[in-house]
Amino acid sequence: MSTCDMCGKESDLVKARIEGTTLDVCGECVRFGEIISRPAIRTKGLPQRQAPLRPKRKEILQIIVADYADKIKNAREKMELTQEEFAKKLNERTSIMQKIEVGQFRPSIDMARKLESELHVRLVEQYDEAGEIPLSTPKTKGEGFTLGDFVKVRKKQN
């Protein structure tokens, strides 16, 4: 039930051409023009099946740690490798490795992953989409909760 474009009456409407204009009119006003289309009779059918909703993918932010240069240099020196030997092992240029160890060049996430696997150090931290909680913080045995852990939990619940 809708409103007639000509008289404003609430009724079932029909599309009609009246003086060159297409209008939605009631059964009484249709006599002023010619019928273009009648309303389709709607039948109730089976309800349409909806696709199951997929859970939203959480966005994970990956950030290289601030002290990456020191970690890389110390780990390389523990392995007793020179910068040239280490660069060859990674198939990278020596100058790039020198700049990374000095902190002049920040490695890409892929490069940091390659360095992590070779040096066995943690260079990339992962955060959830809110950016508050690191997803990959290793806890040692015997290490309990700290005051900071409780503060983060309370913020998350509110």
Indicate whether 148 pLDDT > 70. no
Name residue, tokens 């696709």.
Answer: 51
65 and 123 fall within a common domain: yes
Q: How many domains does the chain have?
A: 2
Asked if 118 and 82 sit in the same domain, the reply is yes
The CATH number for 108's domain is: 1.10.260.40
Rg (CA), the chain: 35
Q: What is the pLDDT of residues 39-61, one digit of tens each?
A: 655 566 677 777 777 776 677 78
Do residues 118 and 70 share a domain? yes
pLDDT, average across residues 80-96? 93
Strand partners, 25: 14
pTM, two decimals, is 0.48
Range of 117's domain?
Answer: 61-135
147 assigned to some structural domain:
no
pLDDT digit string (tens) for 97-140?
Answer: 999 999 999 999 999 999 999 999 999 988 776 655 555 555 54
Q: Is residue 45 part of a domain?
A: no
